[in-house]
């Protein structure tokens, strides 16, 4: 394995251009009005290395919501505060071959959320976040992350209003099913908290700083980092996770905003933003860039 910090700016430029040329194969997420109007040609990358070396290129001033890229960190937050034994009473660790918002999967699993990286698991964990109401829970999580990562995430109120305007019937049905099975206490609290934490927004640098917590920072417990990274590797790209664990071999988590976070354990973190998505809901150009980086620098853990 080479070191992430052996990356040269010339190679970075080549791989970015190659990745951007793939974006036309994807489509912008159109379920949420405010996401449907973003520029499909945006591309940004920020890489943080343990050595202190950093690389940044592209549309790095773009601010975007984390969406599902928050899921590893709501999991980490609960692991740090409540411990593995408690958290995994509420959610499993099995990969899913169904879409991230599949109610059918949840029904077939007898209401037990298969993993924290799909909506059923994330909604369950949102219900468990500490705080007296959804806004308080979101603020607590955001402050904790910003303090640990020295990032600058904020709740995007306009994005939240756009998410709420859609009123996802699928997520409502998932939450109702979870409540009936006793995995969540209150449907509306769980949904509202989940929607708010997904609308925490920042830049690729902010996202890469979050990644440092999972890569080499010693401010979280090693067993919790290993757990989150393992679930990102096996579940972070939804039903495409096994495919990319072979092709790339690194813990990754995507969001339908076009966010993509990649962890190179003990070396660094890579954040990309490119909003054109494949049919599964993963960033086309983001994955193309990470695949080139991993292949050329031999970063795969496998």
Tell me, what's the pLDDT at 302?
Answer: 84
pLDDT, position 127:
98
159: exposed, middle or buried (C-beta count within 10 Å: 0-12, 13-18, 19+)? buried
- For residue 251, the Cα-to-chain-centroid distance in whole angstroms is 10
Write the DSSP symbol of residue 38.
S
CA gap 299, 271 in Å, rounded: 15
Query: Six-digit token pair at 146?
Result: 């910003």
Residue 8 pLDDT: 93
Per the listing, tokens 């905003």 go with 257
What percent of the chain is helix, strand and coil (3-state, nearest 5)?
A: 50, 15, 35
For residue 230, how far is the Cα from the chain centroid? 14
What does residue 73 show for φ and ψ, rounded to 5 degrees? -90, -30
Give CA–CA dist 286/43, Å, rounded: 8
The answer to whether the CB of 103 falls within 8 A of the CB of 177 is: yes
Strand partners, 264: 268
Judge contact between 61 and 43, C-beta under 8 A. no
pLDDT on residue 137:
98
DSSP one-letter code for 283: B
- Beta carbons within 10 angstroms of residue 104's beta carbon: 9
Structure tokens at 290: 């990470």
The dihedral through the CA atoms of 174, 175, 179, 184 has a sign that is positive
Predicted pLDDT at 1: 55
Q: Please say whether the beta carbons of 230 and 251 come within 8 A.
A: yes
Q: Which two tokens stand for residue 120?
A: 């059923």
Strand, coil or helix: what is 151?
A: coil
pLDDT at 144: 97
Bridge partners of 28, per DSSP, are 276
Q: Are 274 and 19 in contact (CB under 8 A)?
A: yes
- With CA atoms as reference, report the closest residue to 120 among 180, 56, 201, 174: 174
* Selection from 250, 243, 249, 253 nearest residue 282 by Cα: 253
- Residue 219 exposure: Cα atoms within 13 Å on the Cβ side: 14
Distance CA 209, CA 192 (A): 26
Q: Can you list the residues of the chain whose pLDDT is less than 50? A: none
Write down the residue that tokens 């009005």 correspond to: 33
Do 65 and 257 meet the contact criterion of CB atoms below 8 Å apart?
yes
């Amino acid at each position: 394995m080479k070191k992430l910090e052996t990356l040269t700016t010339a190679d970075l430029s080549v791989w970015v251009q190659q990745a951007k040329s793939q974006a036309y194969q994807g489509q912008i997420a159109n379920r949420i009005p405010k996401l449907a109007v973003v520029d499909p040609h945006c591309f940004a990358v920020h890489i943080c290395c343990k050595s202190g070396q950093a690389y940044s290129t592209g549309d790095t001033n773009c601010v975007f919501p984390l969406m599902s890229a928050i899921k590893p960190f709501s999991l980490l937050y609960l692991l740090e505060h409540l411990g593995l034994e408690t958290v995994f009473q509420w959610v499993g660790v099995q990969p899913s071959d169904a879409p991230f918002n599949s109610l059918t999967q949840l029904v077939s699993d007898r209401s037990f959320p298969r993993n924290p990286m799909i909506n059923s698991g994330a909604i369950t964990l949102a219900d468990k976040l500490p705080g007296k109401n959804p806004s308080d829970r979101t603020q607590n999580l955001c402050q904790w992350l910003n303090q640990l990562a020295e990032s600058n995430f904020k709740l995007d109120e306009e994005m939240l209003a756009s998410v709420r305007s859609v009123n996802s019937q699928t997520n409502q049905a998932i939450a109702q099913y979870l409540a009936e099975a006793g995995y969540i206490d209150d449907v509306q609290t769980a949904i509202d908290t989940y929607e708010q934490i997904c609308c925490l927004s920042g830049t690729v640098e902010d996202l890469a700083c979050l990644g440092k917590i999972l890569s080499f920072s010693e401010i979280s417990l090693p067993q919790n980092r290993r757990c989150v990274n393992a679930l990102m590797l096996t579940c972070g790209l939804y039903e495409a996770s096994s495919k990319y664990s072979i092709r790339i071999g690194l813990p990754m988590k995507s969001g339908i905003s076009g966010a993509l976070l990649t962890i190179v354990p003990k070396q660094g973190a890579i954040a990309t933003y490119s909003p054109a998505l494949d049919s599964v809901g993963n960033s086309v150009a983001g994955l193309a860039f990470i695949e080139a980086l991993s292949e050329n620098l031999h970063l795969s853990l496998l």
